[in-house]
Amino acid sequence: SFRVGVLASGTGSNLQAILDRVHGREAEVVAVGSDKPGAPALGRAEALGIATATFPGAEYENREARDTAMALWLLEQRVELVVLAGYMQLVGPGFLGRFPRRVINVHPALLPAFPGLRAVEQALEYGVKVFGVTVHFVDEGVDSGPVILQRALELPDVTDPDEVRDRLRPVEHDLLTSAVALIARGAVRPDPDHPRRITVKDQ
């Protein structure tokens, strides 16, 4: 079956959605890593007997060294796709080079609007009425890789970032679990003439 690794820094609700909806079906989550030793996401994996590991920044000379260690661990678990599910660090070339076009991320905004940290706050500060979620391939920029799935959510009256996040969360879970299942089925392909343009074709 299709072997998936997940990196998460926090609560892990996106990881949980993958475990509930995709794990044991289209794909198998075989490894969950974190930069944060106490991350609740790790407990969700441990509860199912999935291999976990932590890679705290302080234990490595620099980000590149951490990224290399993380990538080598995921390769040992023979991971075919890496999902960043609330992983709040950038991954550098030492990681991405070992998983070419094999790393995806979920972001709580309609990219290319509001990349980076505090995306929901950025959107609220801008005064947008339409929020949204993007699942994209990860490249070496900040939330800049090719878009796989995207969905908008109109919230014209919401001003509280936590409320926006609460409304976006189920959208994240839908899009991220769909993306993993679609990739596992081979339904996600770059357009050879436009490498930024991703074709999603579910046969």
Which residues are known catalytic residues? 107
Q: How far is the CB of 17 from ligand GAR (least distance, A)?
A: 8
- Tokens linked to 154: 């109109």
Choose one: 3-11, 66-74, 94-102, 188-196; the region binding ligand GAR (CB under 6 A).
Answer: 3-11
161 scored as a contact of ligand GAR (CB under 6 A): no
For residue 93, cis peptide bond before it (omega within 30 degrees of 0): no
Please report, to the nearest 10 degrees, the dihedral formed by the alpha carbons of residues 89, 199, 80, 100 taken in order: -60
Minimum Å gap between C-beta 66 and ligand GAR is 17
Among 5, 108, 132, 146, binds ligand GAR (CB under 6 A): 108
Q: Given candidates 27, 32, 83, 85, which one binds ligand GAR under the rule CB under 6 A?
A: 85
Closer by beta carbon to ligand GAR, 83 or else 198: 83
Answer for which of 29, 32, 104, 106 binds ligand GAR (CB under 6 A) is 106
C-alpha separations of 152 from 130, 174, 180 in Å: 6, 13, 19
| Cβ neighbourhood burial of 112 (10 Å; 0-12, 13-18, 19+) | exposed
Alpha-carbon distance 119 to 116, whole Å? 6
Site for ligand GAR in 111-140 (CB under 6 A): 119
Asked if residues 8 and 19 have their Cβ atoms less than 8 Å apart, the reply is no
Contacts of 100 (CB under 8 A, 6+ apart): none
- On whether 12 is known to bind a ligand per the annotation, the reply is yes
Residue in the block written with tokens 């998936």: 4
Considering only residues 169 through 198, tell me which ones interact with ligand GAR, judged by CB under 6 A: 172
Binding residues for ligand GAR restricted to 17-56, rule: CB under 6 A:
none
Candidates 14, 34, 89, 177; binder of ligand GAR (CB under 6 A) is 14
Residues in contact with ligand GAR by CB under 6 A are 8, 10-14, 85-86, 88, 106-108, 119, 172
